[in-house]
């Protein structure tokens, strides 16, 4: 067994946030396999760092601007000088890494579609902030190895930077012992929100309501259905009014942000839906699949790569498509078959398997360096 010395670059080593959880889950498993992990982070949850070394990265720009990202990149570059690692793995906008995990779309990809022409013109060509972001992103994309969290992100990297070599897809994983049908069934028996009334209970989990397509889902909720919205999103009043105007006001419940165990909401659900307009991945769908629930995801979401339409879930992004899929899922037998297949798919995305993939990347990197040195 080869033991590697790995530097992990992440601003906040905590369990809140998709990129942060991804970094934590992989780093802890690499540590458990005997690899040496140094964390280059500004903030850490010390309950998660046992057996790792935390290298404190100064936070010289606490406000949320490009200066914050640039400061992190410069500080980590300075701290890494003269230190030897088998692999430097970044989850952030840095430029000293060997392996960069790309969790989001490229900067310019965020200014397509509904963005007004003049705003795009100013932001992309006249804003110093944007020019600096793009400069930093370009340096990122020159990393020896890139890991995209989905095929959607891999295609975005290719479209924006023409990069195809040294790019690999490694999706987020899921703790399929925590999100497990048996545990969900036990919770369901105590869950007051459970489908005891015979309603089809639809679950939406996520913030950024418009991007995640909540306005397309609300009108798809028909008679005999209930929608549970978990997450803190923008324009809450608008979405409440939309539910009322669609005649579903009494059948849409806005729960808000949930800090504690979210599994109770999966336990009360019959189907998990995420009709995003744009989504790098979509963790709520994978968590729903691990719970043995059928899922509906937008075909443009990164997680769509795990869904065989009509087998372990449905691909639907528009209101009419969502209505059709939800009506099919009124059939309890179909829900059970789809949920069982979804669970099998989720088992292929365990965090242990994700970590296996990273070990391959790091060992390959180490091997290529050895070949160059011979």
Average pLDDT on 277-294 reads 96
Give the containing element (helix H, strand E) for 107: none
Report the candidate in 125, 301, 276 with the shortest Cα–Cα distance to residue 206.
276
Q: Which residue ranges form the domains of the chain, and what is each CATH number?
A: 5-173+350-373 (3.40.50.2000), 181-347 (3.40.50.2000)
Closest CA to 273 of 329, 199, 234: 329
Least confident of 70-79, 124-133, 328-337, 338-347: 124-133
Instruction: Check pLDDT > 70 for residue 369.
Output: no
Q: What is the mean pLDDT of residues 117-134?
A: 64
Matching residue, tokens 């789809």:
338
What per-residue confidence (pLDDT) applies to 188? 81
Residue of 99, 150, 170, 151 lying closest to 368 (CA atoms): 99
Q: Which residues pair with 34 in a beta bridge?
A: none
- Determine the average pLDDT of the residues in 345-363: 96
Half-sphere exposure of 218 (CA within 13 A, CB side): 24
Q: What is the pLDDT of residues 102-124, one digit of tens each?
A: 999 998 786 555 544 445 544 55
For 144-189, write each residue's pLDDT tens digit: 999 999 999 999 999 999 999 999 999 999 998 999 999 988 888 6
Distance of CA 360 to the CA centre of its chain: 22
């Amino acid at each position: 067994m080869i033991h590697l010395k790995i530097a992990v670059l992440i601003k906040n080593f905590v369990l809140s946030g998709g990129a942060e959880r991804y970094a934590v889950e992989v780093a802890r498993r690499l540590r458990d396999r005997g690899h040496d992990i140094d964390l280059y982070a500004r903030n850490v949850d010390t309950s998660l760092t046992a057996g790792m070394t935390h290298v404190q990265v100064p936070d010289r720009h606490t406000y949320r601007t490009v200066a914050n990202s640039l400061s992190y990149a410069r500080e980590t570059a300075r701290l890494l000088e003269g230190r030897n690692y088998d692999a430097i793995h970044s989850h952030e906008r840095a430029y000293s890494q060997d392996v960069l995990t790309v969790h989001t779309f490229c900067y310019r990809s965020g200014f397509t579609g509904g963005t007004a022409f003049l705003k795009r013109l100013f932001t992309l060509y006249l804003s110093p902030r944007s020019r600096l972001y793009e400069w930093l992103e370009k340096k990122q994309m020159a990393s020896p190895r890139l890991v995209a969290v989905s095929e959607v992100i891999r295609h975005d990297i290719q479209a924006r930077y023409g990069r195809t070599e040294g790019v690999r897809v490694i999706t987020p994983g899921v703790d399929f012992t925590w999100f497990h049908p048996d545990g969900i069934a036990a919770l369901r028996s105590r869950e007051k929100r459970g489908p005891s009334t015979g309603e089809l209970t639809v679950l939406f989990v996520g913030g950024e309501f418009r991007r995640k397509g909540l306005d397309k889902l609300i009108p798809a909720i028909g008679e005999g259905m209930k929608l549970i919205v978990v997450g803190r999103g923008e324009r809450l009043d608008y979405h409440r009014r939309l539910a009322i105007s669609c005649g579903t006001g009494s059948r849409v419940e806005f729960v808000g942000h949930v800090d504690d165990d979210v599994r109770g909401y999966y336990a009360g659900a019959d189907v998990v839906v995420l009709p995003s307009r744009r989504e790098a991945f979509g963790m709520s769908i994978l968590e729903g699949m691990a719970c043995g629930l059928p899922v509906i995801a937008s075909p443009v979401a990164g997680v769509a790569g795990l869904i065989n339409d009509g087998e372990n879930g449905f691909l639907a992004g528009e209101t009419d498509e969502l209505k059709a899929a939800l009506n099919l899922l009124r059939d309890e037998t179909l829900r059970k078959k789809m949920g069982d297949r979804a669970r099998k798919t989720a088992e292929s995305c365990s965090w242990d398997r994700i970590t296996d993939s990273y070990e391959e990347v790091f060992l390959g990197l180490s091997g290529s360096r050895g070949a160059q040195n011979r």
